[in-house]
Structures are given as C-alpha cells and as structure tokens.
Structure 1
C-alpha cells in the first residue's frame, strides 16, 4: 500500500506533516504501508509557506498507483490559487492525478488542497469541503462542485476532501479505522496523543468537541454509535449493548470520562445537529425526525434548553 504525500510549493506544513506522522506510526505496526513524498514537478526541494525547506523529493511521475494506494494533497498558500504560471506548470501533475484516480487510487486533500483537485477536474459534479475561510472563493471559481460548508471531511466516489489543518489528522485516522478497524485507529490516536477524534459529520467549528477530549475507546465507541443512530429513539440499554457494557457501568464510565451523563450528551448532540440542519434551511418537522423526535414540540423544547452561541 503506497501513501504518496504530494509536496507542492508553499505547502502548509501541518497539512502534510499531520497525516504523514499518523501513517508513519501506523507503518510501525503495519509494515505493508509505504510512505513517499513527491514534488509536483522535477524539483527535489521546495520551500513551505512557513519558510521551512523540504528536500529529497521524488517527482510525481515516478509513481504508478492502483486501488490499494492513496494520494494526499495538502493545502498551499492562497496566492497560488490564481497564479497562472503555477497553474500552467502544474498541468502535467493534474493529468497524472487523473490517471491515478482512474486506476483506482484514493485521492485525499487537506485544507486548500481541494483547490488543486478542482483544478485537475476531479471534483466536477461531486461534493467536497475545504477550509471555511475559502468557501466563497471556491464556490465562485468551481460552481459545478457541491460545497459542503460545515463538514470536517467529505467522501465522494473515492475522493476525500477535508476542512483544513488538523482535520487531515482526523481523516487519516478515519482511513486507518476503515482499513484496520476501530481498535487500531484508537491505538494510533493514543500513540500520537490525539485527543480530538472527530468524524465526517462533526462541524468544522463545533462547540462540543471537548466531550471527545479523551482516549477511552469504549466511551468513544458509544459516542460514535449515538452520532450514527441520532434519528432513532436511542435507549441507554442499546448504547451499552453496542459497547459490551452494562447500562450501569457505561453510565459511570461515561460520566467519569466526559464529565456529563449519557443523556446530557445525547441532548447536546441532538441540539447541535438540529441547529446545523436548521441553519441549512431544513424544515422543523424534518429536523425533528432526524433528531429522533416524534413532534416539533419536543424539538422546540430541546432547543430552548440547549441554546448554542
């Protein structure tokens, strides 16, 4: 399995070093993972946006990928978005990227790397996300792409796009969980001391991410189950059964780990989901159903109690 990290000029350092370190730690446990760092031209050295130089890079055209492989494209300085010389010089790379995608490789972008995917024509008639500060600019330049405006990462037909900076780490852990299971991803998160383990449906600017500020895998599994079944009438017994615990033990561990009860957390998550859906123009009855309520009245009562800033 090849993981190719593209290193464009003026690269944003954390966009590449975050995911690279996650996969480096994974490689220690899974030696079939191979890591490579590639330039988008014949340059073996580039200067990052922060002024740090990265060297001994391999030209992108040295690689021929398959469905087992991944390409990560980090964000770049925004001045390059409209730099005609840079975009013209990158046409060979864009063509290579299209060929690798057609061969089955999974393509991933971090932050404004989404702009490079769009320039390559890979996001036409697809959905994506990018850093919230560049929503308007992206939407104006690429109207044939559906922009998801409040998502950490989005997957569409083998292409992942993520919101920016640390969301590249979230995406990397998500991919490892899909490949090797939740326990493996948890171990990598623990090794790298990544407390915020966020999923694709978490908003980019969430006020409740602090409740995932832990490395207790049973509580994390319970939280994920809640997120994935929010439209159902969730019972404590079902959540506890999912994580192979008794309701009593789960209640104790959840409160000890997060500082709030399972019920309080469920209401907070429902309130956040409801506000997100309402802000995107959905009607009250639809939002109530998506949050597991039988009536608008129940939803109104919840939102009155849990007002988000």
Structure 2
C-alpha cells in the first residue's frame, strides 16, 4: 500500500466511504426540504402582499425570510397528510392481521377493497375533468382529487392482496407503482402550492380588516407627500426656533413591511378606502416614530 493512502478496514470499503454516504443521505433531503420551504414561502408571501398591490419581488426578502414565512402555510397540509398516513397504516396492519388469520373471508370483505379502488377511480376521473375545465374546480380541488384518487386505487389493491395473504408490490406492478408515487408527489406539491397562495390571500384580507395589529407610524418629511383625501393626517410643522429640515408630519399610517432599508407604510383606513402604499427609506431622509395602540 502506498504511503499516505487510507487503510482498508477489511470490508472492502475505505473509512471515508461511510462518511460520504452519511453526508449524502443527510444533505439531499435537507436541500430538498429547504427548497420546498423557499418555494411555498414565496407563494405565500406573493399572495399576501399582492392583495395590497405590492409585488413580493420589490420587497427583496431574504431566503431565510421566505422559509420562515412558509411555516404557517405548511402546518395544516403537513398535519392532514400525517393524520391520513397514520390512519392508512393502522388500516393496513389491521388488514394484514385479518388476512393472516382468515384464509377464507366473506365475499363482502373481499370486495370492499375493490370498492375503495373504484371510489379512487371516480375521484381521479373528477379531478381529470376538473383539470380540463369540464366543471368549475377550485385551485386545490384538481390536485387533491387526482392524487387522492390514485392513492385510493393503489391502497384498495394493497388491502385486497393483504386480505388474501399475498405480499405487495408484486414484481409486474413495481414500475406502475413508481409512476403513481411520482404523480401523487406532483399532486401533493401542486395542492400545497395552491393552499399556500390561498392562505396568503386569506391572511392579507384579515390583516386589511385589522390593521391595528401593525405598529402605528408617524413620519416627518422635508417635502409634502401625496395621499388621497382623508386617508392620513398632515400637519405642517412650525418653523419657529432653530431651522429644521423636516416640515411636514403624517399620522394615521401603519407599518406593513420593512426590508432592505425600506419601510412600506399603509393608511389606517386602507380596507375601506383603498389607496396607496408609501415606500420610505429607513435612513435620515425621514424621521419615523413608532407607537403601539
């Protein structure tokens, strides 16, 4: 063995080979999950600020900001998926135990898994028709029907085989099972993306009706700002005393967001009157005071 070459441990593998496998196993799922958090965070944030007429790209949030904002949009889908998976596992093991104890089952029990597959086929057909706009399907209806239908079809097949005491998957169905798994993953991704956008829009509507939840802001500027009538309170600051740079004060504003050295301010009564979102630099060009109600 050449000098400096790592020794073999007798198993045919070099010592660092296990470390590479371990790191690959850890890094790949972490990268994938991080990409999902970023993607869903962008979808949620874009829907949230689009309600106020702001393109999320102009905010300039960091990758960490988007990942953190995705959390609220993933609680419900993740919790629902885990609950359904737990129920499916319990039913599977019950069917396996029943199949191992009863070699001859009543006809009703033998046919019930196939009825489950038929229901899945109907759901898949409805989802396909919704995707083709044959009927007015919602943003989440199509992917949920497609993915849920495929899961029920396969699950019914699995239960039928387990009740008969036959292992699954059988060799001839493995490719089809892999394709179904890919389609279900795609539908899940599609459904969660639609849910994140819907959740962002719902949060935006709630925030617009309850802007008192955001900090109140008073802004002093050197030049007059334009707002639609009766949206903010403008006060001309007195000139008495030492000369001051700030001449106008604006009250009745709320901090909507702050990113990249900019503050996005919105009027208190935006929900009733609509209007503009003011963008001001977070530097000495303006004087800002915050208060909580």
Shared fold per TM-score greater than 0.5: no
| Structure showing greater relative contact order (alpha-carbon pairs closer than 8 Å, 6 or more residues apart) | 2
Instruction: Give me the TM-score of the superposition, normalised by structure 2.
Output: 0.25
- Which of the pair has more CA radius of gyration? 2
Q: Normalized per residue, which structure has more helix?
A: 2
